Amino acid sequence: MAALGIKDIAALANVSPATVSRVFSAPEMVSKKTLEKVQKVIDESGYRPNRIGASLRTRKSGNIVAIIPDITNPVNAGIIRAIEQKAHTAGYSVLLGDTQGLHEREQHYADLVTHGQADGVLLFCSSIPFKTDPTLNLAQQLPPMVNGNEKIDSDEVVQVAVDNVAAAKRAVKHLIDLGHKYIAAVTGPDDIASSNERLEGYRSALEDANIPLDSGLCIQGEYDVESGMKCAGQLLLLRQRPTAIFCFSDDMAIGVMKFVQKQGFSVPEDISVMGFDDINYAQLVSPALTTVHQPLEEIGGLCIELLLKQLKGEYVEPGRRFLPFELKVRGSTGPAPT
Amino acid sequence: MAALGIKDIAALANVSPATVSRVFSAPEMVSKKTLEKVQKVIDESGYRPNRIGASLRTRKSGNIVAIIPDITNPVNAGIIRAIEQKAHTAGYSVLLGDTQGLHEREQHYADLVTHGQADGVLLFCSSIPFKTDPTLNLAQQLPPMVNGNEKIDSDEVVQVAVDNVAAAKRAVKHLIDLGHKYIAAVTGPDDIASSNERLEGYRSALEDANIPLDSGLCIQGEYDVESGMKCAGQLLLLRQRPTAIFCFSDDMAIGVMKFVQKQGFSVPEDISVMGFDDINYAQLVSPALTTVHQPLEEIGGLCIELLLKQLKGEYVEPGRRFLPFELKVRGSTGPAPT
DNA sequence: TAGTTAAATGAAAACGTTTTACATGTTAAT
DNA sequence: ATTAACATGTAAAACGTTTTCATTTAACTA
């Protein structure tokens, strides 16, 4: 069953390939009569137009590639789902580029667009995986692209995220308001921009409250549950133990909560724990996790929207766009022990 | 900066396009001298071969499409990650088809292969989204495909999953061994094969123990946390309340646990709760969830392996392949109250 | 050296569409 | 009846590769 092509259909229907093509892409410019005739042949033959052929001609693949560190992370999964839905209704398919944090992989997936396999990039990491000529205008060297959830150090790329410094600041303020003075931070890897921004917010909140910054209270984690546990272990060893721990991800927060509870402390009576992200499971652990809500659906949605706009050829103002976060106060934070 | 093609490179290097092509795909059959010459031109010009052009000629897109109900479900996310990794090292990119359980979407994504945009399908749902002629041999009408984690009613398709009936049976036996007699089941949607298989395992375990089947104890959920809560609500209303609840997903189990706890029951003293899947968070709720472990990595890995084999043209024996499950006994199950 | 074989290269067709430029047929206006 | 204008349709080029087959070049053999 050698798949038949547009020419075969044309022959069967006694029209030219051009007409068949128009039946799909511009039916209004073919007469009703021939339209029906061709349609009938198409239906009867089960003809499936080959999109590769079309892509070659139109120079559009109909794909976009989403580059994310780890699909297993609920934050990313939520964003990806939103993207996928909207891309689908816009007629695009999404290629999943799970990098596991490897730059080499970022490169690889970015290459999909330079190789014509994708028309645009959704980038959820903090560096531009394209070789660019620094003497030239950056924006002109980039394909349609939007950076989500992270920060790229350039005001020429369009970016959407939550205001991490404001959000972290708000979170820490919550702890300060509860009377905490020894507030630890469990950060993410230091090559991740969002983590550094959250750290800045943490510092800023302490500064506003005239609480001296104690670098011993800042521990670097890996954003996952295990590293949360590990960091909690380190924090509990401190001579002056923190009364509150602000974690830069819910997973880490859940990890520290588990660990401190296992050590016999109670949350929040002895130690308050705060997360960041508001993944589904944040409400389901005990006690429910106080955290900063990120609007995943909106983030993903805006990213893809802005990308689609670019793909349509519309101009999209570069720069950052902030989406609103929300402090979710639940059971894992409480007044500082006296 | 009109992207330059293989002909331009050929011209620049004073060779034919064929030679340039060979530099990439069969460097061993071009002499060292010309190889270097061409390579130099390629490097200097920053030439990126257009994969669409190549695809058209070779009739291979280099993509595979993974059709899943919901990427937000940790089970699916885990599987997809495994797939993505192996696909990547094999030179394939994966198109993500998140269907939200909609058949129409399954169709759409399956169409990607009939349209040449993907070379094979990984199908994580329980019906074949291709129109097939029932009078003809099924296997010959299907593209390279493997069905994962579900069950399709045909012995002509290659399938990989956990033995759901055995697994569910094992789970219920655990509860029976603890002395439970009133064991409820919170199932998934009844058009999902895996759920029906688990139900069968549940029945079989009861039968073996001579416990009469009480259909009032079987409630249909939606696999997610909310539906778990809802079902728990119904179960607690029963005149003869169950002492154990077996949920067909961890999410639902977490939901019922939350709910029964909120109603003042304690788990497992009053009611034992059992899940299925063993997602990460199963260990992190309180009490930790007893559940059936599914080897996500292995499932995804085997799926993609079998698909790659087919794509290489090798024959793959159709039929089901079972991967081992494992009962994880944790804190949410205990002896039946006396 | 001439003859033979093997290795390296090139010319051109093919993959399946879209689209431009043009041709034909039809209608409306004079 | 003649022409202009328009509606439909067509032929053919183009998109960027790969690959078959023929040809040239290089490398041996006798």
- A244 closest CA partner among A332, A141, A142: A332
Question: What pLDDT is attached to residue A33?
Answer: 87
Q: Does B40 touch chain A (CB under 8 A)?
A: no
Is the sign of the CA dihedral A107, A109, A111, A113 positive or negative? negative
At B46-80, the pLDDT tens digits run: 999 999 999 999 999 999 999 999 999 999 999 99
The secondary structure of residue A206, as a DSSP letter, is H
pLDDT beyond 80 at B312? yes
Query: What residues approach strand C to within 7 A at the CB?
Result: A 3, 5-7, 17-18, 20-22, 24-25, 47-50, 52-54, 56-58; B 14-19, 22, 29-31, 33-35, 56-57, 59
Question: What pLDDT is attached to residue A133?
Answer: 82
Q: What phi-psi label fits residue A74: left (phi over 0), alpha (psi between -120 and 50 degrees) or beta?
A: alpha
Q: Which residues contact B106 (CB under 8 A, 6 or more apart)?
A: B67, B97, B99, B123, B125, B127, B129
Q: Does A99 touch chain B (CB under 8 A)?
A: no
Question: Is residue A159 helix, strand or coil?
Answer: strand
Q: Rounded mean pLDDT of B240-261?
A: 97
CA angle B316, B320, B322 (to 5 degrees): 115
The CA distance from B111 to B109, in Å, is 5
Contact B81 A94 (CB under 8 A): no
pLDDT beyond 50 at A1? no
The residue of B1, B6, B51, B273 whose CB has the most chain A CBs within 10 angstroms, and thus the best one to mutate to test that interface, is B51
Question: What pLDDT is attached to residue B139?
Answer: 82
Q: Which residues of B touch A105 (CB under 8 A)?
A: 88
The secondary structure of residue A295, as a DSSP letter, is -
- Neighbouring-strand partners of residue A272: A244
The CA distance from B99 to B122, in Å, is 13
At A218-230, the pLDDT tens digits run: 999 999 999 999 9
Q: With helix as H, strand as E and coil as C, how does A19-79 read? A: HHHHHHHCHHHCCHHHHHHHHHHHHHHCCCCCHHHHHHHHCCCCEEEEEECCCCCHHHHHH
pLDDT beyond 80 at B2? no
Contact B117 A93 (CB under 8 A): yes
At A282-310, the pLDDT tens digits run: 999 999 999 999 999 999 999 999 999 99
What is the reported pTM? 0.94
Q: Rounded mean pLDDT of B164-180?
A: 98
At B214-246, the pLDDT tens digits run: 999 999 999 999 999 999 999 999 999 999 999
Contact B95 A94 (CB under 8 A): yes
Helices (H) and strands (E) in chain A, counts: 12, 12
Q: Does B281 touch chain A (CB under 8 A)?
A: yes
Lowest pLDDT segment from A304-308, B10-14, B30-34, B135-139:
B135-139
Question: What pLDDT is attached to residue A43?
Answer: 93
